[in-house]
Amino acid sequence: MAHAYPQRPEYAADQAFEPGSGLHWMRLSRRHPWERRIMAAVWAVPVAAVGAFVFAQGGGAAGGLLWVALVVLGTVLAWIVAELAYRSYGYAERADDLIVTHGVFVRRLIVVPYGRMQFVDVTAGLLERWMGVATVRMHTAAAATDARIPGLPAAEASLLRDRLAQKGEERSMGL
């Protein structure tokens, strides 16, 4: 279940990323970083195995072990980034628009006016379905204002999709 959480700006520039109007950012499901971690581990196993085999053929056991160590390091970094990305995501429904913020190294704030939304879709891959999470994506005529909210509990994703579609129809700008 997504939760609202107050966020204290760590930097002066973070004030530009506040939802305003006394709103708090809604948070993703705690399962989202675990889904990303599992995907990193799933990809790491065959990459490590194939790379170790190839390097062992050409450079001996040391090359294979070095490759496996690099893959393990990459997987650990992916686990850390998954947590940081989870903490950076937030969304808020305002009267006339939806705002989404995210970004670990580069912070981004996307404002999607309800009247500009062309359609809203919900997607979930095999692992996401198993974990009970989904991604809601809002599409507009301008690709730069498209937004996605990953890692929402499936039931909440469905409700958000319906609310956004209704608000979009109510405020349709004749597109």
pTM for the whole structure: 0.80
pLDDT tens-digit series, residues 55-104: 777 767 777 788 888 889 999 999 999 999 999 999 999 988 999 999 98
HSE (side-chain half, CA atoms, 13 Å) at 104: 9
- CA triplet 39, 25, 120: central angle to 5 degrees? 65
- Region 37-44 average pLDDT: 93
Q: Does residue 53 carry a pLDDT above 90? A: no
DSSP summary character for residue 141: S
DSSP summary character for residue 158: H
| 65 vs 48: CA distance, rounded Å | 9
The total number of residues shown for the chain amounts to 175
Tokens of 51: 């790379």
| 144 vs 128: CA distance, rounded Å | 26
